[in-house]
Amino acid sequence: MSVASLGRQAATRRRTRGLGLRPRERWFYLLIAPWLIGLVVFQAAPIAGAAGLAFAEWAPPLPIEWVGTSNFEAMVRDDQFWQALGNTLVYGVGTVIPGLALGLGLALLLRGRRRGGSILRGAVFLPAVVSGVATALVWGWILNPRFGLLNAALGLVGIDGPAWLHDPAWAMPALIVMGLWNVGVNVIVYLAALNGVPRELQEAAALDGAGRAARFRHVVWPALTPVTFYLAIVNAIGAFQVFTPTYLLTSGGPDGSTLTLALYTYQNAFAYGRLGYASALAIAVVVALAALVVIQFRFAGRRVVYLGADG
Amino acid sequence: MSDRPPRRRRPARHRRIALLGIGLLAAACSGPTGSTGAPEPVTLRLQVSLTPEELATFEPALAAVDADHPEWIVRLETVPQGSEVEKVTSQLAAGDLPDVLRVQGLNAQQWIRRGAFADLSGRSLDPAADFYAGPAEQFGWDGRIWGLPDTASPEVVYFNKAMFDAAGLSYPTADWTYDDMREAAIALTLDGGGRRPTDPGFEPATIRQWGWNGGLTYFWQNELVRARGGDLCVTADCTEMSFTDPATAAAIEWWVTLVRDDHAAPYDPYGGSQTGVPGDPFLAGVAAMGSNGWFAVGQLNAAGTIDYDVVPPLIGVDGERHTSLSTNGYVISGTSRHPDAAWALVQALLEPRFLEATWGRPGHAVPARISAASSAIDGSHPPTNQDTVLEAMAVGRVFRPYTAAAFAAYGATVDLFTKLNTGELGLEEGLAQLEAAANAALAADRGQ
Amino acid sequence: MNEPSLPARALPANRHKTGGRLILAMVAILAVVPFAVPFLWLVASALKPIGQFYAAPPTLLPDPPSLENLAGAVALVDVPRLLANSTLIAGLSVGATVLSASLVGFAFATLPARGRRPLFGILIVTILVPPSATLIPQFILFSRLGWVGSYLPLIVPHLCGSAFFVFLFRQWFLNQPPHLFETAELDGANPLQAWWHIALPLARPAVAAVAVFAFVGSWNDFLGPLLYLREPESFTISLGLAAFQGTYVGQLHYTLALSLVALIPVVAVFAVAQRWLVPGIATGGWRG
């Protein structure tokens, strides 16, 4: 018996009043009112403005010039755009899926109750909240080809480390490693989700004789699919917005190997004075992300299991 | 099971929440009222982007100026120095620019050319009389004056005394040419085994000390090219550049061979891949000489680990000194409602005594007014030859190009310079690519 | 805490249990090392005297460790005020976010209505729009409202349910056994009461997670305070950190030292949130 079916039953017994909305529907709209108001007041105009700017060229304080689709035409012809798109996709793939696996693994590993667990969890989470400048500086040192910690460690096992952020082939992998350093965010969400797996289901499984692994496969993992779905989408969005390390450490180099869409958009908006083109790039990002999200929704389909009301 | 909701509770709760929501929105939407523009005094918004140390001397000095002028109230707004472009761009987009801004030189021209600031040409403060030509140029365009510089930081030549002593070489003098520098730089470059580039078995990959802090590594170093008889700029505002002109190519080659063949300067001076730390190699203590802005004095003195001195910019092949300088200055917003009061404020902030007390004597920067510049000299701390800064101010020129597309051109060319310096790209091919990339990026600004 | 008795054959022998525990602990520590090491380097560098900070080649440890970077930073920038401002903004933002996002997420999860699907689609679309795209248009909007120069643009939007967190709460509530809410309804509670009395207490782990993220998001927010705050007395700690990144001279040794100070409130919030995030005596969660 789901909430939804109960609602339908109850609703048919009540008269529909005003606006043709059944009482439960009126409650829905009442409860989401804060979000709706925010959408209309704070988001609608800016989003429309950003979309509109994509069809213009603007260098404030000069007046806005409408240029139709020429920004998009220029984008298709722009090698740097395609390079940025490719780099961002590589970064996305390199951080999202390993990030989910790593996040879940660490959450399972570190959810013990003992005091030591707190410190370990803190150690994993802190990197995600350290300021971008400090992070960039620290990783710049660690990845230094000559004197950095990483190549020193590799040298101990006889490997001659590459130039990392100064080598076009290794700069993006280095960036991905830096991205994975922030996996603490996933860990937190998974910790919360693990704590929310209904007790009675796990107890029942244990009483039926299911071992740890079996309990995980049949009870815990399905209960984690909704947040996994959430994290997949949120991390993908985050990957498309990676900016600070590229801005502070590589400026998109060497040879544009770390030029991400977010950095390229920022450069166009603030360094090159092309606000219209920057908006067009942002639209491209939205389209790419929307495609990704639709794919994820389709993929989720049956695989995401909600224990509660029908989604 | 009752199919009626508990009537008594719901409406009251409803009402309370609704009232609260409306109240919040109303309070939020009323917002802070803008300046009511009372007849006197006039409120002026002044925006600056300073380091905390500069702000520590500027704020009290500004308060004193404000106190002296009861006809204004000055509201100081600050921006972190690295974020000036984001802030001003947004303010221009919303029409929210403060009355007076102190802007960084390299950012100024793009806004000047878009008409963001007021034309100051008709104002009575004559720049030619007391301002150094180099910094003043940064705020001029189309034959008019759009701002006035208050401070500048010229580049001079620093040298590390201990390294010279260890090599048994005599210190640079004010008469040194670039050839003198090259000779010394090669002698001062040491690899891991203490060998010099001219010694057999020299290993470039293990260099632990360079003679000079860096070659031609990005395209804003036109003064280095001019010193060797070339010129990257074809037009006056450098919206068209040439790398392949014979004299220019020869000048560039001189620098490239210093790095690529003589190994006397690193090919990656600021990224840190060779030195181990990001930032200038001289400041890191791994270069015996280098050209740096005057602001390096403060950093070297704070660290206190390097015994150094300075000499004026080296003498070029034409017998003249060439060096670059960075500058900051005041502009008045084109949309200010109080342009005359704003001008009075700018005049007060450009007074020689104000500049001396707020910028020169504390050692933040060199005043851009000739009458106030010597306040930057302070014999109580290193270096010894501080008079060189005045010589550098007299010959220094701002970085070119400084138009809007300059940043795009910089990004398009920086990798090419590195490849030239490592030898990955041959000279002829490299120069052709540089010229094409730079001019393509600058095309947007040509004819402006 | 009630651990049900398990059938005998499902219980491992005692010594395997301790050995397994030890291995697990070691694996956990090993897994955390790559996260801790860069952070420790950060701390070590912040404690280096300025001469060593910029010297090449870089040293591992400060010799001797010194607080001069911290002292210098604190002398130049009004750190207590910055921290207080940030705390005020972040605290209000967290409260507003948790309340509004959980309310809206609860509605999306449990209240069927025509238009719920398309509205949720709109919600997802707003998440997809990069913040950089709406940065300037939003600045123009707030400028027209007269809110620039105040904290309003940094707090009020959070009263309207941040889409990211609405989405998270929606996933959370969809995952709860429906009979909990049905019981409430049978008792005559309306959805608002169900949210306040049942859903919120039930969602403690999600609330803890959202509180942490909302706090960190507000605490580290740089572009918002940069654009909307004018006078230095109102600045946040994120702006204070940027103060030392000059265009001409960067004083990164101050930035690093200050970044460690900026971490302390975040650590405190995280420590408090942990009680609700992981199974414990308080929540009675299942450990296995």
User: Which pLDDT score, from 0 to 100, does residue C12 have?
Assistant: 47
> Domain for residue A79, yes or no?
yes
Q: Is A279 on the interface with C (CB under 8 A)?
A: yes
Of the pLDDT bands very low, low, confident and very high (cuts 50, 70, 90), residue C285 is: very low
Looking at the fold, whether A5 and A148 belong to one and the same domain comes out as no
As for how many domains chain A has, the answer is 2
**Nearest residue of chain C to residue B47 (CA atoms):** C230
> Domain for residue B13, yes or no?
no
Q: Is B204 on the interface with A (CB under 8 A)?
A: no
**Residue A211 domain boundaries:** 75-300
Looking at the fold, whether B144 and B174 belong to one and the same domain comes out as no
- The minimal CB distance from C248 to the residues B153, B277, B286 is found for B153
Q: Which of residues 243-302 of B touch A (CB under 8 A)?
A: 268, 271-278
> Domain for residue A38, yes or no?
no
CATH number at residue C182: 1.10.3720.10
CB atoms within 10 A of CB A212: 12
> Domain for residue A47, yes or no?
no
What is the spatial distance between Cα C240 and Cα C251, in angstroms, rounded to a whole number?
A: 12
CB atoms within 10 A of CB B420: 28
Looking at the fold, whether B160 and B108 belong to one and the same domain comes out as no
Q: Pull the structure tokens for residue C203.
A: 């969602």
Question: For all residues of chain B together, what is the average pLDDT?
Answer: 90
Helix, strand, coil fractions of chain C, as percent rounded to 5 = 75, 0, 25
Looking at the fold, whether B53 and B202 belong to one and the same domain comes out as no
Of the pLDDT bands very low, low, confident and very high (cuts 50, 70, 90), residue B126 is: low
Looking at the fold, whether A103 and A251 belong to one and the same domain comes out as yes
Q: Who's near B358: CB < 8 A, 6+ residues apart? A: B57, B58, B61, B364
Q: Is B95 on the interface with A (CB under 8 A)?
A: yes
- The minimal CB distance from B3 to the residues A13, A145, A256 is found for A13
Q: Which chain A residues touch B if contact means CB-CB below 8 Å?
A: 10, 13-14, 23, 33, 37, 58-62, 137, 140-141, 144-148, 163, 165-166, 251-256, 267, 269-273, 275
Peptide bond into C131 cis (omega under 30): no
Cβ contact (<8 Å) for A306 and C128? no
Cβ contact (<8 Å) for B13 and C239? no
> Domain for residue B5, yes or no?
no
Looking at the fold, whether B207 and B303 belong to one and the same domain comes out as yes
User: Which pLDDT score, from 0 to 100, does residue C26 have?
Assistant: 87
Percent of chain B exceeding pLDDT 90 equals 79
Looking at the fold, whether A130 and A257 belong to one and the same domain comes out as yes
Question: For all residues of chain C together, what is the average pLDDT?
Answer: 86
Of B379, B398, B417, which closes a domain? B398
> Domain for residue A220, yes or no?
yes
Looking at the fold, whether A226 and A139 belong to one and the same domain comes out as yes
Looking at the fold, whether B204 and B130 belong to one and the same domain comes out as no
As for how many domains chain B has, the answer is 2
Q: Is B144 on the interface with C (CB under 8 A)?
A: no
> Domain for residue C47, yes or no?
no
- The minimal CB distance from C182 to the residues A3, A8, A105 is found for A3
> Domain for residue B102, yes or no?
yes
**Nearest residue of chain B to residue A59 (CA atoms):** B114
> Domain for residue C15, yes or no?
no
Looking at the fold, whether A153 and A228 belong to one and the same domain comes out as yes
DSSP state of A43: I
Looking at the fold, whether A240 and A110 belong to one and the same domain comes out as yes
Cβ contact (<8 Å) for A47 and C126? yes
Q: Is C92 on the interface with B (CB under 8 A)?
A: no
Cβ contact (<8 Å) for A35 and C35? no
**Residue C157 domain boundaries:** 71-277
Q: Is C57 on the interface with B (CB under 8 A)?
A: yes
Of the pLDDT bands very low, low, confident and very high (cuts 50, 70, 90), residue B448 is: low
B305-359 pLDDT, tens digit per residue, is 999 999 999 999 999 999 999 999 999 999 999 999 999 999 999 999 999 999 9
CATH number at residue B355: 3.40.190.10
Q: Which of residues 225-254 of C touch B (CB under 8 A)?
A: 226-227, 230-232, 235, 239, 242-251, 254
For the residues C103-126, what does the mean pLDDT come to? Answer: 92
> Domain for residue C187, yes or no?
yes
Looking at the fold, whether B214 and B300 belong to one and the same domain comes out as yes
> Domain for residue A37, yes or no?
no
CATH number at residue A87: 1.10.3720.10
Looking at the fold, whether B246 and B142 belong to one and the same domain comes out as no
- Asked whether the predicted pLDDT for residue B26 surpasses 70, the reply is no
Cβ contact (<8 Å) for C129 and A50? yes
> Domain for residue C150, yes or no?
yes
Looking at the fold, whether B394 and B404 belong to one and the same domain comes out as no
User: Which pLDDT score, from 0 to 100, does residue A16 have?
Assistant: 46
User: Which pLDDT score, from 0 to 100, does residue B185 have?
Assistant: 96
Q: Which of residues 267-296 of B touch C (CB under 8 A)?
A: 272, 275-277, 279, 281, 283-286, 293, 295-296
- The minimal CB distance from A145 to the residues B92, B93, B273 is found for B273
What is the spatial distance between Cα C156 and Cα C151, in angstroms, rounded to a whole number?
A: 9
Q: Which helix (H) or strand (E) holds A65?
A: strand A65-66
**Nearest residue of chain C to residue A52 (CA atoms):** C137
- Asked whether the predicted pLDDT for residue B29 surpasses 60, the reply is no
Q: How far is CA B367 from CA B148, B276, B292, B412, in A?
A: 12, 35, 18, 34
Q: At what angle do helices C252-277 and C68-76 cross, to 10 degrees?
A: 90
What is the spatial distance between Cα C255 and Cα C48, in angstroms, rounded to a whole number?
A: 13
Which residue did the predictor score with more confidence, B248 or A273? B248
Q: Which helix (H) or strand (E) holds A28?
A: helix A23-31
Q: Who's near B168: CB < 8 A, 6+ residues apart? A: none
As for how many domains chain C has, the answer is 1
B432-435 contacts: CB < 8 A, separation 24 or more? B432/B243, B432/B244, B434/B219, B434/B243, B435/B241, B435/B242, B435/B243, B435/B244
Q: At what angle do helices A275-300 and A45-53 cross, to 10 degrees?
A: 110
Cβ contact (<8 Å) for B24 and C159? yes
CB atoms within 10 A of CB A136: 20
Of the pLDDT bands very low, low, confident and very high (cuts 50, 70, 90), residue B153 is: very high
C168-189 pLDDT, tens digit per residue, is 999 999 888 888 777 877 788 8
Looking at the fold, whether A176 and A275 belong to one and the same domain comes out as yes
Peptide bond into B41 cis (omega under 30): yes
Q: Is B52 on the interface with C (CB under 8 A)?
A: yes
C25-76 pLDDT, tens digit per residue, is 888 888 899 899 888 888 998 999 888 888 877 788 888 888 999 999 999 9
Q: Which of residues 198-217 of A touch C (CB under 8 A)?
A: 198-199, 202-203, 206-207, 209, 211-212, 215
- The minimal CB distance from C55 to the residues B5, B31, B284 is found for B284
> Domain for residue C149, yes or no?
yes
> Domain for residue C231, yes or no?
yes
- Asked whether the predicted pLDDT for residue B202 surpasses 90, the reply is yes
Of the pLDDT bands very low, low, confident and very high (cuts 50, 70, 90), residue B22 is: low
B396-422 pLDDT, tens digit per residue, is 999 988 888 898 899 889 999 999 999
Residues of B in contact with A33 (CB under 8 A): 21
User: Which pLDDT score, from 0 to 100, does residue B18 have?
Assistant: 59
Looking at the fold, whether A12 and A103 belong to one and the same domain comes out as no
- The minimal CB distance from C270 to the residues A8, A109, A122 is found for A122
A3: closest CA among C203, C108, C98, C167?
C108
For the residues B129-143, what does the mean pLDDT come to? Answer: 91
Of the pLDDT bands very low, low, confident and very high (cuts 50, 70, 90), residue C120 is: very high
Residues of A in contact with B101 (CB under 8 A): none
The dihedrals phi and psi of B248, each to the nearest 5 degrees, come to: -65, -45
> Domain for residue B22, yes or no?
no
> What single-letter amino acid sits at A299?
F
Residue spans of chain A under pLDDT 50: 1, 7, 10-11, 13-17, 309-311
Looking at the fold, whether A291 and A168 belong to one and the same domain comes out as yes
- Asked whether the predicted pLDDT for residue B371 surpasses 60, the reply is yes
User: Which pLDDT score, from 0 to 100, does residue A117 have?
Assistant: 79
Cβ contact (<8 Å) for B277 and A141? yes
User: Which pLDDT score, from 0 to 100, does residue C167 have?
Assistant: 93
User: Which pLDDT score, from 0 to 100, does residue B1 have?
Assistant: 36
Min Cα–Cα distance to chain C from B187, Å? 20
User: Which pLDDT score, from 0 to 100, does residue B12 have?
Assistant: 56
- Please say whether the beta carbons of B272 and A139 come within 8 A: no
Of B365, B381, B398, which closes a domain? B398
Min Cα–Cα distance to chain C from B296, Å? 8
Looking at the fold, whether A20 and A80 belong to one and the same domain comes out as no
Q: Who's near A267: CB < 8 A, 6+ residues apart? A: A252, B407, B408, B411
Q: Which helix (H) or strand (E) holds A57?
A: strand A56-57
Residues of B in contact with C242 (CB under 8 A): 80, 82-83
**Residue B412 domain boundaries:** 155-323+400-445
Q: What is the pTM of this model?
A: 0.88
